[in-house]
A = this chain, B = another copy of it.
Amino acid sequence: MIAGINKPRMVIDKTICLKNIKKMAEKAHRHGLIFRPHFKTHQSAEVGNWFRDFGVESITVSSVTMASYFAKHSWKDILVAFPVNILELDDINRLASEIKLSLLLESEETFKFLSNKLQHPCNFYIKIDTGYHRTGLDASNTKIISSILFKSQHDPMLSFKGFLVHSGNTYDAKSKQEIGQIHLQSIRKLQALKEEFIHAFPGLLLSIGDTPSCSIMEDFSGIDEIRPGNFVFYDVMQNELGSCHPDEIASAVLCPVVAKHMERNEIVIYGGAVHLSKDFVLNSKGEAMYGLISLLFKNNSWSRPLEETFIRKLSQEHGIIRTNKETYDRIHIGNLLAVLPVHSCLVSDLLIRESIIWD
């Protein structure tokens, strides 16, 4: 079963993935939402294809490069949910000639640039900041929003599609309740914008994106579209946030054990920052955890995460697992362990091209 795996390899449990996709697709359907999943998490044509059986036709990506990749794999309706990089104008024009392309704008300057330079029609969303303060126009900044929108009414190339938010601040929430507060505050601000502009732009959509809100919440009042990505694999961070159950984590990195240090109950794996990324979560003692550890079963699956066992440190190729005496004694040099990643999107970016699918 795992014969032939002798260095860090990402594995994807297709059964879990399909369950995750089905659950989110059904939730979108139940709430009457357009489901435009974010494909930055997996960046894989094969995983992407799994979404088609659930009726998905429109997708989200985070770069023009990714849009080109998925366009080549027959996706025809793609939103690049990243502030337009005007240096990629040529690629944007090429894509816009091939597919239904949606762009993300947050400044008059970029609007003007595109208005002058686009050769094929595009849709655009306006990125709204409802509290995350990463990108976007503040929801209260209706002066610039109006200015862009009313210019677009006379623009043959740029059609306004809606307001888009990514409440990434849910990732800093301490509880599900706090995620709920962030989500509700965010959708209230979006609703106010919709109310203000719906008469002039009757088809405008409200689009939200973060996996914690999309996983946990049931109130999507006024929202028209969801764009979660991470839910396809979930990970330790989402588990910590309460967005998923450990059994819903659908990807892991298999890593060989190369050394053991009895005096400190530590196990060294071949599996480091170049495989797992340096993202971490803090455990209840305030210690950084760079991954949880599961045992492998012979039927191509992994156990629940082992108690009191986590990666405490990563170097370029090394992972240092701290565990308890009992688990320490069960694990031997030459074993393969399954690392449940802290952030599956970054692991996919590093490893998906040589990953293995278990189905």
Contacts and interface: CB of A to CB of B under 8 A. Distances in A.
Name the 7 nearest CB pairs between A and B, nearest first. A6-B87, A278-B278, A83-B258, A83-B259, A274-B349, A62-B317, A86-B334
Contacts of A328: none
Interface residues of A, number: 52
B6 A88 contact: yes
A134 interface: yes
A13 interface: no
Contact of A258 (B82, B315, B346): B82
A305 to B, nearest CB: 21
A236 to B, nearest CB: 14
A176 interface: no
A110 B268 CA distance: 13
A276 to B, nearest CB: 10
Nearest to A40: B316
Interface of A: 5-7, 40, 62-65, 82-88, 91, 106-107, 109-110, 113, 133-135, 138, 168, 256, 258-261, 263-264, 268, 270, 273-274, 277-279, 313, 315-318, 320, 333-334, 336, 345-346, 349
Contacts of A110: 258-259, 333
A318 B135 contact: yes
Copies of this chain, complex-wide, total 2
> Chain A interface mostly helix, strand, loop or mixed?
mixed
Contact of A268 (B40, B63, B83, B333): B83
B134 A313 contact: yes
A165 to B, nearest CB: 14
A84 B7 CA distance: 12
Between A256, A264, A316, A336, the greatest number of chain B beta carbons within 10 A of the residue's beta carbon is seen for A316
27 contacts: A5-B87, A6-B87, A6-B88, A6-B91, A7-B85, A40-B317, A82-B270, A83-B258, A83-B268, A86-B333, A87-B256, A107-B260, A107-B333, A109-B333, A133-B261, A134-B268, A134-B313, A134-B315, A134-B318, A134-B320, A135-B259, A138-B263, A168-B315, A273-B277, A273-B279, A273-B346, A316-B345
Nearest to A64: B7
A264 B279 CA distance: 25
A18 to B, nearest CB: 24
A177 B217 CA distance: 53
B87 A334 contact: yes
A278 B347 CA distance: 12
Given A62-B317, A109-B333, A316-B62, A6 B277 contact: no
Contacts of A279: 273, 278
